[in-house]
Amino acid sequence: MKVLVIGAGGVGGYFGGRLIQSGADVTFLVRERRARQLAEHGLVIKSPLGDAVLPVRTITSAGPGQPFDLILVTCKSYDLASSIGAAAPHMKAGAGLAMPLLNGMAHIDVLRERFGQDRVLGGLCGIFATLSPEGAVVQMEGLPPRLSFGRFKDQIDRKMLDAPASAIEQMMEKANFTSKRIEPIEQGLWEKWVLLTVMAAGTCLMRGSVGSIVATEEGKAVMEELLAETTSVARAAGYPPSDQHLNAARGMLTAAGSNASASMLRDIQKGGATEGDHILGDMLRRARRFGLSTPLLRIANVHLQTYEAERRKAGS
């Protein structure tokens, strides 16, 4: 199976690198600067699960389309349009599948409309990782890296894509990360989105870690109320989180002394773009379509919109 990974940052670099270590045929599509960096130093991974320096194949968007069996899209939501443009020649050159590892749900319809509803599988991952100033992929302490994927409900109902999904499952099982096939994948996507929205809303709104928030008089209650709001949206959509997932999420979101925060908060602290509209904004729009009241989510979304407006003003 030939795999193309779009991006070699914390997500793409880690999971793509671990696939290479397992013997998979992986190529990275990256910008010119990153391609030069990888050619000179290799793909460097620093991780509690084992460091690695890997020679890798790279291509850039300037190259012609090549056929791949699987294209992993590992960008942030604000780079989705450019990633779709970069993937398009390679999707056209073959009959392979795209698997986005973005957070949220809004990108799913965009990708399926662009490439066809049966050329996209759902995917999600969990990892605390970043790029060092030298370009190394640094996996931080926390939950072990995990990647889940699977077919969408309509694909299962129409008995589509079982064979390629099984081949991907076998490939993933050999790699040094936890992998799981979840079907319908909408359930996994919604469960992660429910948790991530609360983490982003709470830590960005309060500008602090979970531990700092819950150390205040009302912080724990606020986080639990945010979780109730996002859970109500998932339930209305037909994908209620399991009790086990909710208990685990509640524990993570209200853990005393926890240093956990959303990557969106780190984006704000660096003055960078955020996925606010893709994560919080889309959740809020769906809540309104269902006629649900989500006042804390509304406030957090306004907060992020204000940050983005000030950022654009400063840029102009």
Which of the listed residues 134, 154, 183 is the one where a domain comes to its end?
A: 183
Q: Cα separation of 174 and 2, whole Å?
A: 15
258 pLDDT more than 70: yes
Instruction: Report the pLDDT averaged over residues 37-61.
Output: 95
Burial class (CB in 10 A: 0-12, 13-18, 19+), 83: buried
Residue 27 binned pLDDT confidence (cut-offs 50, 70, 90): very high
134 and 231 within one domain: no
Range of the domain at 219: 190-315
101 and 75 within one domain: yes
179 and 203 within one domain: no
Residue 19 binned pLDDT confidence (cut-offs 50, 70, 90): very high
Domain CATH code at residue 291: 1.10.1040.10
The number of beta carbons lying within 10 Å of the beta carbon of residue 82 is: 13
43 and 176 within one domain: yes
Residues 103-156 pLDDT 10s: 999 999 999 999 999 999 999 999 988 899 999 999 987 678 999 999 999 999
162 and 68 within one domain: yes
61 and 179 within one domain: yes
Do β-strands 129-131 and 137-139 pair in parallel, antiparallel, or remain unpaired?
A: antiparallel
Which of the listed residues 132, 153, 183 is the one where a domain comes to its end?
A: 183
Q: Cα separation of 224 and 136, whole Å?
A: 36
202 and 73 within one domain: no
264 and 143 within one domain: no
161 and 77 within one domain: yes
Which of the listed residues 183, 207, 227 is the one where a domain comes to its end?
A: 183
What integer pLDDT is reported at residue 316 of this predicted model?
A: 60
Number of domains composing the chain: 2
